[in-house]
Structure 1
């Protein structure tokens, strides 16, 4: 394998990785965010490890520990950090992190085959000098070109076709080549050509080899990532033109390579940055249309960036000549002139919609405003995070008799900038749960605003019709309002922009149905009216990573406790997102002995899977409990469950019963919606949930089962790729897998087929088993790893056998009734009697009316809390369960369920005879008092 050219190329690509990215993956801390790194091999007060060359765009430059003298490539750094034992292990780890899998070992003597795009890029980079002369002729500076060439982002192509004659499309010719790479780790996906003489190529000026959709062009990846301000332009030449303006540190340009790419590029990498949109706003108006293609694309880009909470504004191109683009200005006015123009930002209230006469804004009207609004629209002016109002102005005529308006004074309007008000259709809970057509969406309005305290991240809020003009609402969420009347007038104008950015949204965190298809959703995708109250994970971003991290996490949890005692709750937590497919998902009971490591394991699970654990104090109010399980399939932990008061445990019982599946409700005067469905991890030394035995799975932590502790440097599990994997899996396949696992559990179960409650418990364990098989497929490991299946089945059978007598409601009722009989608090008639069964075995029968038991439980004050928590509250249902349970005595083939007895000289009819032997077989005991005649 070592002689395989594909392996050599693979190692070479790994050594070219950005060392700063590798250091971030290794969790290395940096002095002040910009200096040297603290060594990962030891503790030190001053950072001693430096990465040289990468800051200037030279990948794979190297690193050095100045204390020990160690240094090398990215592979050496992984070994030095203790994450791998040799070069091959380190290379595999880097390949998983950065999406560069190890090449197949077959055909070792065959030469490595590059993609067409990579082959073209390599050829263009061999003789790249002519591109410098060509681009310098277009006004681009030597510094910008040198950086792009050093990063292997530009080249020169001389290819011509020997089949297509000159002058026809497809012939080719000399062309500047722009190498398009992914953001990480810089894999070549396309090469864009710009021909020096388009006439040779049939008048075609540009051509793309490779992927056109979904990828943009940059000249320096490090510069783009470090930038706080990014200009988005159409072409690579425009991007180089922007970077020719001698910007200070923190500025970069990104080319979308055509207006059609606005919809397909993932712009989430720009979060936290200020984006200035500089597409070709001045391109000619389409024939038969009133819009400019570049400006229309800029409008759509503004909508997409605003939805991602990315602060963005438009470069003001109102004074640019028709058809003039960024490179034209660079050639005409030089870097200083272009830089001055790019600093002019549109101040208008509606982004991309300038105020002015019809001839001045021809093709630039983003939205139609009636005259009453248009006449005041120009008075509202915005900066990045502030809004002003033109107070004083004067209308006059210039020397040519043309109307002119002099603006004399500005007044402060409000301490924030409204980036947009969009109409949102929130999908109904039924469509979210089961994927049915949405017949009852809710319409609200999403507000995005930029405030100074949050920098370049837009703040979002959801407003309803009744609060759209509430100044208290606006001021409470965003900032102070100095001119209330003018502010209300501004809102009345912005109401007409509700269609800009209007979209259908789903309020859910995790895996849910969106438009009839499964989708992975994060907190950023949701628009709650009361985020902190409605969903515990309203601002959650799931951990990212590669499948190597998944394998590491699984192995660590299988080792930390024997018999997979920690791996079972791990798989339960990750499998919780299957709930939308299965329609149910069990809660989890984690009982632990004192000192067994429960708290440490809970901390590790929070770090590994990004779910929260609430303390007993947090669970004492109904609102907090409800919010913790609302609008998410991401599990939540309830710690110290056993220490809660009985009254709270009764309320919790009802909530857990409903969240085994789903429950939708509205609370308060505002009718705030809650969709309660999150599975709950119940942790404590004693988790007493008898009524939930059929709706929980469990694992027991003991000191004897303890293994090595989970290392603190263990990476997070890649939950986001896991959710995307589930979303791309056919739903029918997952459901069929669960049915198959249920049949497997039934075949290995100790319980009989007639017990419906045990069947439900096996369904619960089958759900975890199905999650395990999907998890093994995702992480590319063997399902037999660590004997997980065997240990889960052992836990299931242990659970079934230990709860054999406590799974049904009548057992709890009978247990309370027997306790009341022993305490002599039962005032209704009953009696004990010695008897023999049909086989002659001695037995004791309890004659009692089931209705009397339920009357006692419902009227005794000291039993009020227990009675409220019972799922059965009528004597009729209780008696039917008794008859079906087999504990009613049988004589000569007939059950004694309607017997008349004499008790205290009274004839009491319709009594039921319950066998004490059968009760004791289910773990129920009593102290019978049998009255015998004294001779």
Structure 2
């Protein structure tokens, strides 16, 4: 949405008055008198020099928005929108940061600043009361994550909650940045503060406290604890190990993006709290809330592909936390001891007080469960035996050379629900196994299986060796009880899609393909991330590298392809360029900037490879030099592109593997032979437009942030902006009113204009930057003009028949006729449409062309020719070679030439006459 100043810069009041339907009565050069259509005399005066207006009674007046309010009798927002619609301007209301949020952030920054003024005073408490070594405290002071405060609330009495007092401050920053997120207090004397030990200010979810926020980058092992004091204790215990760090979630209900921990091992070490009665179910079993917090962490890590283990706290006393244990031991050994059980949080044997378990196992399963033991990437089984003295001893038998970390149910949304957001009537259930192997270090691997594959050991052997098949099968049977742990809803689609009725950015890791490499070219793809401010820099660089926005159109087309979710279609893109025009270089830079894959000719050599290259994603792919392929490959490619203009679901193979044909395709080359696809493409031409080279340091386009922004916009907002862009493209369209093929091309370029306008709103640049819309409309009109004769199937068929007649291969009756006064030029061609289709379908040389034609019946062909106006007379009778031929169509040769169809006629022509009765 443009500001008032921007509107006044682009639009003059006299022009606006004319667009609003007012009539100019007089003009003396400085002032103009205007009136509404029903008025008898002038109603308003417009000052041309100062661009203001006032009415006859001096009761109304002002700027262009005020004029719209007066003319249409609406309020300010409606008038603003009306002005944007009259001039086809982008109208997008963006949510602005509230003053309250800004004030809260300023207050938090002030509190953090005050806490950092006297940091050293926190040392006494941390060292004497909590046993934290000096070098750890010094590091926290250096990193500005530790502070001190003695603030007291003057409005609260001492001993009452929120009074305050001396406290250690823990300053939390956004992950991997120095952006302030929260400040936490740990009070020295809680009794002075009404019994409150801690206080938290600022953001809770999505952030965590660390002694050194940068330590997470190099860490291999990350301990997750409840509070900052526990994190300091872990840091002290492992101070000699730079690959180990600790994070404090600052609570038991905090949600964190566990994908930040990919490539690391997470070890949970929450407090050992005593079980308490369930507030919601007092008659039920007691609950241990700290243990349940660890279960949620484990599920989050499992979904993110991060290995997660629990510290074995069976020897801890109730009420102890990591800080208590460290003060007693001054060692890291208590924290290195992990739970050995198959399912983290579910002990095989325990002497702790009974409480609600993580999972209820039947007796026959629990009797076997305790035997299984796991390490990071190995599974074994306990076996009781006796030594030489007859004493029982525990031996371990190898079960598998990998560890099954989890087995979960996944509900895959149907293609219809994924692309429309409607209620899912046919979801598909699959199972996903997460496992860890030695060869993949600290990264969980994933295998998606159908129901019949779940107990097929040959499927599991693809993950690693199985030493004891019988014990492994019994273990899988136990894991079936955990199928609900980590169960998720998912969509097998890479790009912007619907999940549970809401738009979501889906990446390769979020999908659960059974045949990943075949079902999507982006099955392991993560969209480029970056700062939003880089987006404008990238757009402006592409506007400069080729003149007339030739390269910028390609960039906008790629990033705008995600709008397919809201529009229901997205055109393919033709990039034409002569030799040495910079096409190959531009394609490589587009691939680097957006992550788009450019597929070589070998990758699209068969129909199956063509299909797999456009399946399961809305992120575009590129095909180079399609014209160099065989005719049958080109024909199959064109057929596939017709389907991927929208969404098409299909299955292949005996296993009925699903494929969702959806990816837009960039077709690059000197010649792109896709005439039948003209109505579903937009184009750009790089010839003679090369400008300065793109800088090698140009950042990537922040695709992930852009798609998240689109997800928040929603379908309604995008559709409204598309309609405004469509109105502008139609207003400047040079095609004839009855050209239906041109109307679809206008829709395609309108979609591209919508993408540009949304992109300018995202980047903060103006929509007039670089005259993108002017160049886009010029390209649209050029494209429509150049392809007037290529858009209709009847033209292709008639051209083939004319070539057959010229070569003397057309065996059916036909005759050329001329006007009586001009026997040198052919005027009409008498031929039977049914014979034309018969010749096309029976000729061996034309068989391949006929198979690829969208029209295969004479009835449809005749109907299209009638609509085009090339049939001058229907059902005429002529005598040809001594044979009376009836039911012929008289084609107008002049009209055919207007459509670019060349006719080869004999030198001797028959004079035109009226049809025989």
| TM-score grouping bracket, smaller chain normalisation | 0.7 to 0.9
SS of the aligned residue for 1:243 comes to: helix
Normalized against structure 1, the TM-score is what? 0.84
Match of 1:654 among 639, 644, 655: 639
CA displacement at 1:421 relative to structure 2: 0.5
Match of 1:502 among 487, 504, 527: 487
Matching residue of 1:341: 334
How big is the shift at 1:549? 1.8
Distance in structure 2 (CA, Å) of the matches to 1:188 and 1:343? 32
**d(CA) in 1 for partners of 2:394, 2:791:** 80
1:694–1:761 contact (8 Å) kept in structure 2: yes
Q: 1:232 to 1:909 in 2, by over 3 A?
A: same
Work out whether 1:910 is the aligned partner of 2:887.
yes
Given that residues 503 and 714 in structure 2 are in contact (C-alpha distance below 8 angstroms), is that contact kept between their aligned partners in structure 1? no
Q: What are the ranges of 5 or more consecutive residues in structure 2 without an aligned counterpart?
A: 1-96, 98-102, 912-917
Select which of 467, 481, 491 maps to 2:453: 467
Task: Give the Cα–Cα distance (whole angstroms) in 2 for the partners of residues 239 and 274 of structure 1.
Answer: 16
- For residue 13 of structure 1, what is the aligned residue in structure 2? none
* Closer/same/farther in 2, CA of residues 676 and 836 from structure 1, 3 Å limit: farther
Give distance in 1, aligned partners of 2:268 and 2:508.
26
Q: Secondary structure at the match of 1:492?
A: helix
Residue 835 of structure 2 aligns with which residue? 852
Q: 2-side partners of 1:328 and 1:878: how far apart?
A: 87
CA displacement at 1:841 relative to structure 2 = 12
Matched, 1:728 2:721: no
Alignment partner, residue 926 of structure 1: 903
Q: Which residue does the alignment assign to 1:352?
A: 345
SS in 1 for 2:113: helix
Q: Separation in 2 of the partners of 1:777 and 1:731?
A: 16
Q: How far 1:370 sits from its partner (Å)?
A: 0.8
C-alpha separation in 2, matches of 1:361 and 1:346:
17
C-alpha separation between the residues in 2 aligned to 1:748 and 1:419?
A: 61
Match of 2:251 in 1: 258
CA, structure 1 residues 737+415, in 2 after alignment: closer, same or farther (shift >3 Å)? same
Alignment check: 8 A CA contact 2:177 2:213 kept: no
**Equivalent residue number for residue 794 of structure 2:** 810
Q: Is the 2:225–2:248 Cα contact (8 Å) retained in structure 1?
A: yes
Question: Which of 434, 437, 453 does residue 448 from structure 1 map onto?
Answer: 434
Kept in 2, the 8 Å contact 1:354–1:361? The answer is no
Q: CA deviation at 1:113?
A: 11
State whether residues 832 and 930 of structure 1, in contact with CA within 8 Å, keep that contact through their aligned partners in structure 2: no
> Is the 8 Å Cα contact of residues 512 and 520 (structure 1) preserved in structure 2?
yes
The equivalent residue for 2:757 is: 773
CA positional deviation for 1:222 = 2.1
- The answer for the alignment partner of 1:575 in structure 2 is 560
1:515-594 equivalences in 2 (<5 Å): 515-594=500-579
**Cα drift, residue 428 of structure 1:** 0.7
Which residue number corresponds to residue 183 of structure 1?
Answer: 175
User: What is the CA distance between 1:118 and its match in structure 2?
Assistant: 1.6
**Match for residue 666 of structure 1 among 651, 670, 684:** 651
Per-residue CA shift, 1:141-182, capped at 9, x if unaligned?
112111111111111211112221111111111111111111
- Tell me if 1:302 matches 2:286: no
TM-score, normalization: structure 2? 0.85
Return the match for 2:265 from 274, 281, 285: 274
Number of the residue aligned with 1:863: 846
Change in Cα spacing, 1:873 to 1:385, as seen in structure 2 (3 Å) is same
- 2:472 pairs, out of 487, 506, 511, with 487
Contact 2:870 2:895 in 1 (8 A): yes
Instruction: State the SS of the aligned residue for 1:697.
Output: strand
1:125 aligned to which of 116, 134, 155: 116
CA–CA distance in structure 2, aligned partners of residues 280 and 901 of structure 1: 100
* Structure 1 counterpart SS, 2:711: helix
| CA–CA separation in structure 2 for the residues paired with 1:532 and 1:280 | 44
The answer to whether the aligner puts 1:159 opposite 2:140 as a matched pair is no
C-alpha displacement of 1:786: 1.2
2:203 maps to: 211
What do you get for the CA RMSD once the two structures are aligned?
2.3
Matches within 5 A, 1:826-841: 826-835=810-819
Q: Distance in 2 between matches of 1:761 and 1:346?
A: 64
Superposed, 1:379-418 pairs within 5 Å as 379-393=371-385, 406-418=392-404
1:711 aligns with 2:695: yes
Aligned 8 A contact 2:816 2:826 in 1: no
CA contact (8 A) 2:272 2:318 kept: no
Q: Is the 8 A contact 1:283 1:294 kept in 2?
A: no
Give, in whole Å, the separation in 1 of the partners of 2:249 and 2:586: 46
User: Secondary structure of the residue that 1:389 maps to in structure 2?
Assistant: strand
Deviations along 1:741-786, one digit per CA (max 9) or x if unpaired, are 1111111111022111100000000100110011111111011111
| Corresponding position of 2:362 | 370
Query: Is contact 1:155-1:178 (8 Å) kept?
Result: yes
CA contact (8 A) 1:295 1:364 kept: no
Give, in whole Å, the separation in 2 of the partners of 1:933 and 1:864.
33
Distance in 1, Cα, partners of 2:695 & 2:881:
70
CA distance in 2, matches of 1:419, 1:753: 64
Q: 1:932 to 1:193 in 2, by over 3 A?
A: closer
Residues 923 and 406 of structure 1: CA distance in aligned 2, closer, same or farther (over 3 Å): farther
- 2: CA distance, partners of 1:145 / 1:547: 36
Q: Residue 327 of structure 1 aligns with which residue?
A: 323
Contact 1:831 1:930 in 2 (8 A): no
Deviation at 1:888, TM superposition (A): 1.3
Which consecutive residues of structure 1, in runs of 5 or more, have no partner in the other structure?
1-102, 104-111, 399-404, 890-895
> Structure 1 residues 145, 729: closer, same or farther in 2, change over 3 A?
same
In 2, the alpha carbon distance for the partners of 1:566 and 1:527 equals: 35
Query: Residue 851 of structure 1: CA displacement?
Result: 1.2
CA distance in 1, matches of 2:876, 2:777: 44
Separation of aligned partners in 2, 1:376 and 1:294: 27
Report the 3-state secondary structure (helix = DSSP H, G, I; strand = E; otherwise coil) of the residue aligned with 1:541.
Answer: coil
What pairs up with 1:683-694 in 2 under 5 angstroms? Answer: 683-694=668-679
SS in 1 for 2:236: coil
Question: Are the equivalent residues in 2 in contact too, given 1:836–1:843 (CA < 8 A)?
Answer: no
